[in-house]
Amino acid sequence: MLNQATTQTNVSKQLFKIPVIVAALGYLVDMYDLFLFSIVRVPSLRALGLTDDRLLEDGIMLLDMQMAGLLIGGVFWGILGDKKGRLSVLFGSILIYSLANLANGMVTTIGQYAILRFIAGIGLAGELGAGITLVAEVLPKEIRGYGTTLVATMGVMGAILAYFIADLFDWRISYFIGGGLGLLLLLMRVKVFESGIFKQIKQQSVQRGNIFMIFTNKARFAKYIKCILVGLPIWFVMGILITFSPEFSKAMGISEPVVAGKAVMLAFSGQVAGDIISGFLSQYVKSRKKVIRLFISLSTLFILVYLFSPVKELTFFYGICVFLGFANGYWALFVTIAAELFGTNLRATVATTVPNFVRGAFIPITLVFLKIKESVGVVYGGAIVGIITIVVAFIALYFLEETFHKDLDYLEEE
């Protein structure tokens, strides 16, 4: 009993190291900003003078600008994280998206809004990858799954916080609060220490952060693409089904209006539970792949219920949003696999770019969705695009390596 208690105490000390806590809080603020626009899309666009018939198209345009920033920022911060260190990203990214958040609260035109969502996207791109990489490298492999789960769970709490802040305050004030939280957290990061694994390879003569190494090796490139494809259903659910839930509910014949911000909050409430359960389940079964397969299967089920359920009650619709969010709870595992599959000299590049390319996939996904819906309507358009992302994710996962027991102290050869 004494040995068990001592072990639990040691695990707690390891898990709640300063880098882990600061990475988790950073992702909380990151997700607050990332999904705040989805929550305040309608009121902010109406305040800027847009009519209802423009809310969907201009909303997608602004999200596309944010995602374009995430794509560019993902590459920039990933390379920087492997060349200069994980801390350089944690400092630079939070500064950019905090300042952009403050500026978002002062926009007066759609053009300004678009530019600032792009800049915010660049800043937001670095937080998750650098945080997951740092946590994975400072924790023992036996508990690093718990650490990455903690980071992801705190991030989801940030999205929920955004809903309640936006419910209590005007959309401009909500942006100001997000920027202020980010700047406060920036001060906390002064005490964070760098990964020991990175410090070791920094002394060696080895290529670090060379993104072209991913593309010059066929096996490495295939592994990288598969990592991205596994995450597509997550962003389809959040970027299409949840963000545009008012439009979907109307097309499905639900008479009562659906509030997008509430749908986002409920989906992320479900994802909190999903992240925790998937993280602990993967530790219990000692497998990342088995748990991800289970959660993609659940996502398939709930997407079909969301789109084709004969029940047209508002409460039921919101309940399905919770279950969709729960099935999205493999986000932490998906990013953890990406970090574990690549050597230390490419780890930050991969762990930062992969989730942002998944987010950036929102651009082609929405283009395909908008094109298909012209022929078959919103509901069937969503179903077709959703099935494509699910099938692709299952195939990619099947061919990925299991990484649960992998030691991360290794390099990618040129």
Q: What's phi and psi for 270, nearest 5 deg? A: -65, -35
Q: Specify the pLDDT at position 300.
A: 97
Of 153, 138, 145, which is closest to residue 90 (Cα–Cα)? 138
Which regions of the chain are under pLDDT 70?
1-13
State pTM to two decimals: 0.81
Q: Specify the pLDDT at position 6.
A: 43
Q: Which sequence spans correspond to the domains of the chain?
A: 14-190+210-398
Token pair in block for residue 297:
């299967």
Q: Specify the pLDDT at position 120.
A: 94
Q: What's phi and psi for 170, nearest 5 deg? A: -60, 155
Q: Specify the pLDDT at position 380.
A: 95
pLDDT digits (tens, 9 = 90+) for 250-289: 999 998 989 888 898 899 889 989 988 998 899 899 999 9
Q: Specify the pLDDT at position 11.
A: 57
Q: Specify the pLDDT at position 9.
A: 55
CATH code for the part of the protein at 14-190+210-398: 1.20.1250.20
Q: Specify the pLDDT at position 270.
A: 93
Q: Specify the pLDDT at position 5.
A: 46
Q: Specify the pLDDT at position 41.
A: 86
